[in-house]
Amino acid sequence: MVDRPIDDLDRRILHALQHNSRKTAASDVAESADVSPRTVRNRIERLEEKGIIEGYGAQVNYEAAGYQLHTLIVCTAPIHEREEIARRALEVPGVVAVREVMTGAENVQVEVVGVDGNDLSRIGRELNEVGLEVVDEDLIRNEYEQPFHLFGPDATDVDAEGEGD
């Protein structure tokens, strides 16, 4: 069995927050889990303190906001500098997210929003200046997310051998 720092109530809270953190009320989670709202608020605070919940954010539809050039730029960075370069990439205006990828030469993904083609070219040049080699660029049409299935209220935990608790 894999030891995890969270229990069933924590997973239920995380599922609710991932589904819609803005409209998740401690009282709703408490009622569905048969605990007090105060317990849920304490658990959320503990999950934040442990770094399990790192923050809350809005999901933005850039096209609806008038920015059609929502782009994923796939890059390569030297492995020994990857983390530092990825963090510096966040300083480039237009960069909205950076992901480090653990395998392969294309080991950094940079999500950007540009106002026009010239802006995307500038972003590419500035990413190059911080040490990233741009390998590919893809326009993002839509993005879909959902809560992690093992955080759901009806999920059963699975250990390394694939057997439930």
At 27 the three-state DSSP class reads helix
In tens, the pLDDT along 117-136 reads 999 999 999 999 999 999 99
Structure confidence at residue 2 as a pLDDT band (50, 70, 90): low
Is the pLDDT assigned to residue 74 strictly greater than 70? yes
Is the pLDDT assigned to residue 147 strictly greater than 90? no
Least confident segment among 4-8, 72-76, 85-89: 4-8
In tens, the pLDDT along 102-121 reads 888 899 999 999 999 999 99
pLDDT of residue 156: 62
Expressed in angstroms, the distance from the first to the final Cα of the chain is 8
